[in-house]
């Protein structure tokens, strides 16, 4: 809360605005001016008022001073204090700066006139998070959800389908406060790119999600391909086992044939035994 008061003969305090808005991070000026005796002889104080009053900046007896509060380094008078313009600037406005401000000018031996200014610091939505709740299968039901962590005032949400073609959704299927969009009885033409826009009076942010509806034929095809690959792998393994077994059997048969052949040759080529018998005719028979 800001309060600005002036005391003194014929002194008047002027505040053109009693409510001021600014976006977080921007500079804001709280305007105030007065007419009356010379400001050098007066005391000017700007304060923030909440549960207690916190002095922000003061001009007393020609001396300017700033408090070591959360406003330190961010506040000051727009003009030198020899000027009757008492406007105060606040740099890099924060959400916590929202509230009531008080400007007070005290002139010796004079009454005070008090004015107040309400400052509202608005915060743009943070980048929202998009997600799918449920399994996007054919004829199934899902909910697209969107939420921003920050935002003042509270952001509203709007879902749109951007591709392959834009689409407008019926009010009963969406909740712009909660950021949800219900899609029932899914069909293949619901697949595509969806965009969620979070917005308030301070700004907008968006997020995207690609939705692909799983069609049963696709699921069957995927399952068939998977089974086919497994069967093919099993057949390949069986083929190699068969070839290895056959090769082993062939090698054993070949080894047995060689042994038999060698044995047979040795037996066939064994030397004949010569028998010398003397015949009665005087000849020898072999």
Domain with 155 in it: what CATH number?
Answer: 2.60.40.10
Both 181 and 83 in a single domain?
Answer: no
Is a pLDDT exceeding 90 seen at residue 211? yes
Q: Residue 148 belongs to what domain range?
A: 129-211
Task: Return the bridge partners of 33, or none.
Answer: 14, 85
**What's the pLDDT score for residue 67?**
83
Is residue 201 domain-resident? yes
Burial class (CB in 10 A: 0-12, 13-18, 19+), 186: buried
Both 137 and 197 in a single domain?
Answer: yes
DSSP state letter for 234: H
Q: What is the pTM of this model?
A: 0.67
Q: How confident is the model at residue 283 (pLDDT cuts 50, 70, 90)?
A: very low
Q: How confident is the model at residue 112 (pLDDT cuts 50, 70, 90)?
A: low
Q: How confident is the model at residue 266 (pLDDT cuts 50, 70, 90)?
A: low
**What's the pLDDT score for residue 245?**
79
Both 6 and 116 in a single domain?
Answer: yes
Q: What is the rounded CA–CA span in Å between residue 234 and residue 16?
A: 86
Q: What is the rounded CA–CA span in Å between residue 199 and residue 179?
A: 11
**Half-sphere exposure (Cβ direction) of 16: Cα atoms closer than 13 Å:** 7
Is residue 285 domain-resident? no
Both 196 and 172 in a single domain?
Answer: yes
Which single residue is written with the structure tokens 């699921």?
219
Determine if residue 118 is left, alpha or beta; phi over 0 gives left, psi from -120 to 50 gives alpha, anything else beta.
beta
> Given 122, 142, 168, which residue is the final one in a domain?
122
> Given 100, 122, 144, which residue is the final one in a domain?
122
Cis peptide before 229 (omega within 30 of 0): no
Q: What domain count does the chain have?
A: 2
Is residue 241 domain-resident? no
Q: What is the rounded CA–CA span in Å between residue 102 and residue 54?
A: 10
Q: How confident is the model at residue 209 (pLDDT cuts 50, 70, 90)?
A: very high
Both 11 and 106 in a single domain?
Answer: yes
Helix (H) or strand (E) holding 247: helix 216-268
Is a pLDDT exceeding 50 seen at residue 276? no
How high is the mean pLDDT of the chain?
Answer: 82
Lowest mean pLDDT among 26-35, 125-134, 158-167, 221-230: 221-230
């Amino acid at each position: 809360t800001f309060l600005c008061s002036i005391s003194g003969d014929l002194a008047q305090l002027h505040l053109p605005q009693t409510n001021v808005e600014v976006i977080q991070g921007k500079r804001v000026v709280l305007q105030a001016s007065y007419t009356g005796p010379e400001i050098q002889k007066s005391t000017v104080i700007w304060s923030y008022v909440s549960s207690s009053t916190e002095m922000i900046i003061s001009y007393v007896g020609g001396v300017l001073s700033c408090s070591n509060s959360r406003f330190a380094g961010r506040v000051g008078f727009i003009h030198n204090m020899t000027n009757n313009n008492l406007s105060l600037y606040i740099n890099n406005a924060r959400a916590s700066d929202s509230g009531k401000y008080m400007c007070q000018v005290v002139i010796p031996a004079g009454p005070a006139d008090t004015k107040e200014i309400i400052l509202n610091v608005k915060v743009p939505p943070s980048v929202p998070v998009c997600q799918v709740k449920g399994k996007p299968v054919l004829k199934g039901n899902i909910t697209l959800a969107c939420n921003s962590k920050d935002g003042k005032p509270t952001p509203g949400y709007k879902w749109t389908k951007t591709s392959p073609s834009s689409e407008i959704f019926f009010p009963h299927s969406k909740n712009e406060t909660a950021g949800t969009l219900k899609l029932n009885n899914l069909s293949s033409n619901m697949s595509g790119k969806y965009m969620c826009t979070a917005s308030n009076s301070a700004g907008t942010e968006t997020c995207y999600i690609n939705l692909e509806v799983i069609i049963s034929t696709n699921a069957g095809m995927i399952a068939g391909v998977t089974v086919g690959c497994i069967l093919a792998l099993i057949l390949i393994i069986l083929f190699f086992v068969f070839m290895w077994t056959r090769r082993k059997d062939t090698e054993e048969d070949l080894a047995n044939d060689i042994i038999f052949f060698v044995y047979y040759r040795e037996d066939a080529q064994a030397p004949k035994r010569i028998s010398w018998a003397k015949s009665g005719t005087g000849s020898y028979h072999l």
